[in-house]
A and B are shown apart, each in its own frame.
Chain A
Amino acid sequence: MKNRLVLKKIFTYFFAFIVFLIMFFPLYGLILTSIQPENIIRSRNLSFFPTNIIFTHFVEVLKPNHISNIYEGIKNSLIVSSLTAFLCLILGFPASYSLSRLNMPAKNLILGALISVYFLPTILFVIPLFVILVSYQLDDTILSLVVPYTAFTLPFIIWILKTFIDKLPIEVEEAAKIDGCSVFQLLSFIIFPLLRPGLIAAFIFAFILAWVEFLTPLIFTNNLKISTVALGLFRSTIDIKIGQQAAAAIMTLIPVAILMIFFQQYITKVVFSGSNK
């Protein structure tokens, strides 16, 4: 029995190590490429440990006239992603409360319809939206990104917030209602503070989903008056300098990776609260 336990432990650690290697190695390779001089990257005696660490690729990439324009892209993406996340919360919070707690006809149908839009191919909507934007000369604006992003992300956000509200104790709300609390007061003074983990999770999800979006800005900002970080990175792939390309990729990744690492518990909470009913 003891032998079997030891064997199991060894097997677990071995498997964990393999999984870690497979999931992490691609990112490690990217980091390695971004901090080594171009001639080492291109040499055939590739080492998997850095021998000569430099940061010039990052300095080059962050210069305002660099082809990827990553500095401008990060600025735009921060604006667009934050706006999208805020809009999603402002619209999604009351909507999810209504779906969770209030008496309304065809509740499940509405939730189902909202979620089912994810099964439809995005390209189906992008073509006509592009035509509308062009005809009102709204393409290449922050608005042309924030509104579609919000619409794309909102069903997911409503679903997240609904599962969190479902878990709140209903007694608190009933007591507040008996004390004569209006719905507005209820939402802002009682539900809002209780729902903080859900709201944080929803904000992070919306922010990340807006940050990684590629197809929408690719088409809607076709004249490149504004550029998002993902687009900027894509443009740098035309450039042949591999080190700078890797540096730009890391600059694109860092903000969302930080969010993901620090708020990981909120992200996992979404999955766990959604399925354990």
Chain B
Amino acid sequence: MIEHSNLIDKSRLKFSKEKILATSLILPSLILVFVTYLYPAIFTFVISFAEYDIIRLNIKKFVQFKNFHYLINNSFFNSAVLRTVYFGLVICLFTTIFSFLIAILLNEKFVGKALLRVMIVLPWAVPSVVSGVLWGQMFHADTGFLNALLYQSGLISEYKIWLADPLIALHIIAVAEIWKAIPFMTLFFLSGLQSLPSESFEAASVDGANVFQRFFYILFPLMFPIVIPLFLIQFVLAMKSFDTIFVLTRGGPGGGTTTLNYFIYQEAFETFNLGRASAAAYVLLIITLAVVLIPSISKKILNFFWGNK
């Protein structure tokens, strides 16, 4: 009996020893990440209810919900919020569609596939400043390729200043973001495609299903579980985008490309109103969380009404 309990103690001791070891291996990383994230998150939360003195670096006074009130009543902020959601939707919708098609292409066998794969993955490593410069030159009013191409083929009679139109400028930024976002999503789709069972396609092919039937009735439902998380992650990333906007338009013309993230930057580092910027950052955080939580909430609602598990 005594020996037995001794044995348990020993194994428990070994067990807790492993716990200590495991914790000590991961602790440095956790401390670094959470200090860098958690402290600022709390700090931002606190000063979103205050006026912050940027010169003395201290809180001037607490103003309760004044910053949030200001934002909600500010039409510029509200349109920036709507613009951010629209911008995010455009980017993730087109990125998903293009990536899906390219992944299907890369799943086929053809000569030069390795080269094409390198070319498709490359834009991911392109620094966003470079892609800003690149697309800026592409759409440049005097020297851009687009103007030259359209002019020489007779589609436009004079050079257009593309970035001067707020709506066109917003979509040019979206193009730049989509170009950079395609590589990663394509890779994830490709790895998803390659893990699909090939039997179901062969069976359908034997049964006489055509390409479109196979796409919509077999491929799409099978890929759906992969599409949804990638779509959402891309949506979140698109709403966070800053660099391309900063390089291409600086939020202009007339605030037409100011997304929420850029609005926060302007409040914080151009007008130096840290309180207001922090409040806006929390609004962005809430929108982001809402987006991330949509699938699990809608799944719960669906389960509640239809009860299928």
Contacts and interface: CB of A to CB of B under 8 A. Distances in A.
Contact of B143 (A24, A41, A110, A233): A41
B164 interface: no
B43 A104 contact: no
B122 A260 contact: yes
A51 B288 CA distance: 49
A121 B242 CA distance: 10
Contact of B25 (A98, A128, A152, A218): A98
B134 interface: yes
Interface residues of A, number: 91
Interface stretch (A58-66, A87-95, A167-175): A87-95
Interface in B1-57: 15, 18-19, 21-23, 25-26, 28-30, 32-33, 35-37, 39-41, 43-44, 47, 57
A125 B37 contact: yes
Interface in A75-111: 91-92, 94-95, 97-99, 102-105, 110
B127 A127 contact: no
A252 interface: yes
B125 A256 contact: yes
Given A104-B19, A119-B236, A242-B137, A42 B142 contact: yes
Contact of A215 (B119, B192, B242, B277): B242
3 smallest A-B Cβ distances: which pairs?
Answer: A151-B36, A102-B22, A46-B148
Interface of A: 9, 12-13, 15-16, 19-20, 23-24, 26-27, 29-30, 33, 41-42, 44-46, 48, 91-92, 94-95, 97-99, 102-105, 110, 114, 117-129, 131, 134-135, 147-148, 150-152, 154-155, 158, 183, 208, 211-212, 214-215, 218-219, 229-231, 233-234, 237, 242, 245-246, 248-249, 252-253, 256-257, 259-261, 264, 267-268, 271-272, 274-276
Given A123-B268, A128-B43, 9 more contacts: A16-B105, A20-B116, A23-B123, A97-B25, A117-B33, A119-B289, A121-B261, A122-B242, A275-B191
